[in-house]
Copies of this chain bind each other. A is one copy, B any other.
C-alpha cells in the first residue's frame, strides 16, 4: 500500500507547417486548394485591416487599437473549421476571425474608434462583443457551451483568451464549469508570449499553458499557433468532440504579438528587438505562402491581385466608417434597459436641452 500512481497525463504539441513552407504529410489535414488559398487570403486581409487601423490611429482617425499582427493563423484556421452556427467569443485581438464570421469591417473599426455601434453586429452573426475585463469572456464561452447543450443545439462556443488571461480566476471557473457540465466549448489561448510587458514565464510556473487542462479533467493540446494547418487540425478535433457532446478542449496556440500591446504602448521599453526579429522569421503568412507556392497554388501575380483587392476592401471599410453619421447623444440612454425608466428619461432630457437637440 505504498506510493501508487493515481494519474498519468501528458500534453502533446502539434506542428505541421514549418517556417520554410514544408509540411508533415502524415498529419496534413484534408483541405481543398480553395480552402487553403482562402485561409491565405483571409490572413492577408487581416493583416491589411490591422495595419490600416494602426495607421489611422497615428493620424488621429481611430482610437486605441490592439494589433493582431502575427496572430492571424489561428483565426484563419478557425474561420474554416467552425460551422456557421458556432459562436465566437473573442478576446481583444480576434478582429480577423470576427470579420471572417461576418462582422462588417467598418462596424468593427467603429468599436475601436470609440463608438458603441461597433458592437451592434448583424442578427445572424454569432459573435459576442469584445469583453474588456481580461478573462471574463472565458466564462461566457463556458456558459454558451452549457446553453447549447441544454437547448439541444449543435453549436459550439469558440472562446479566445490570451496567455495573461490564464492567470485570472475567470479562466479557472470557466474551464471547471465547462468540464463539469460537458459544455460545447473550445477554449483557445493565444499565447503570444506577452501580456503587455509581462512575459509568459512570469505569468505561470507551468511549462505549458495547455497542461492547465489537466486541472479540469479535459483534453489539452499545444499547437504551433503560427502554423495554420496545426491549428486547423486541433480545432477540428476539438469542435467535433464538443459537438459530439464529449465536452470542452483547451488549445494553447503558441504565437507572437509582433506589434505593440496597443497603440498606447511602446513595446520597445520592455522587449528585445532580437526576439521580435526571430519571430518575424516564423511569420504565419509567409509560411503559408511558401507552402502554397511550392504546391503551385500561389504566385506573384495572384499576390499582386490580392493586394489590390484587399487594399480596396480596407479603404471601403474606412470610408464606410467615416461615412457613419455621428452617434446620437440620446443613445447614451436608450440601451440601458428594454424600457427607459423615468429617471433616465429625465437625464436624457437634461442632456438634450444642453446639446440643443
Q: Which residue numbers of A lie inside 8 Å of B, CB to CB?
A: 1-16, 18, 24, 26-27, 167-173, 176, 179-180, 182, 202-208, 210-212, 214-218, 222, 247
A2 CB contacts on chain B under 8 angstroms: 14-15, 24, 26-27
Cα distance A207–B9 in the bound complex, in angstroms: 11
A16 CB contacts on chain B under 8 angstroms: 1
Question: Could you write out 14 A-B pairs with CB less than 8 Å apart?
Answer: A1-B15, A3-B27, A5-B13, A7-B9, A7-B208, A167-B176, A172-B172, A176-B205, A179-B205, A205-B218, A205-B247, A211-B214, A212-B215, A214-B214
The 3 A-B residue pairs with the shortest CB-CB distance in the complex, in nearest-first order = A169-B169, A172-B172, A179-B205
Cα distance A208–B180 in the bound complex, in angstroms: 13
Q: Copy number in this complex?
A: 2
Interface pair A216/B206, CB less than 8 Å apart: yes
A222 CB contacts on chain B under 8 angstroms: 6
Cα distance A11–B5 in the bound complex, in angstroms: 6
Interface pair A206/B215, CB less than 8 Å apart: yes
Cα distance A6–B223 in the bound complex, in angstroms: 11
Q: How far is the CB of A35 from chain B (nearest CB, A)?
A: 22
Name A18's closest neighbour in chain B (CB-CB).
B1
Interface pair B6/A207, CB less than 8 Å apart: yes
Q: How far is the CB of A195 from chain B (nearest CB, A)?
A: 12
Cα distance A113–B216 in the bound complex, in angstroms: 38
A14 CB contacts on chain B under 8 angstroms: 2-3
Cα distance A14–B5 in the bound complex, in angstroms: 9
Cα distance A9–B208 in the bound complex, in angstroms: 12
A170 CB contacts on chain B under 8 angstroms: 169
Identify 6 new A-B residue pairs, CB closer than 8 A, beyond the known A7-B210, A204-B215, A204-B216: A2-B27, A5-B12, A6-B210, A8-B8, A169-B173, A180-B204
A210 CB contacts on chain B under 8 angstroms: 6-7
Name A170's closest neighbour in chain B (CB-CB).
B169
Q: How far is the CB of A187 from chain B (nearest CB, A)?
A: 13
A12 CB contacts on chain B under 8 angstroms: 3-6
Interface pair B11/A208, CB less than 8 Å apart: no
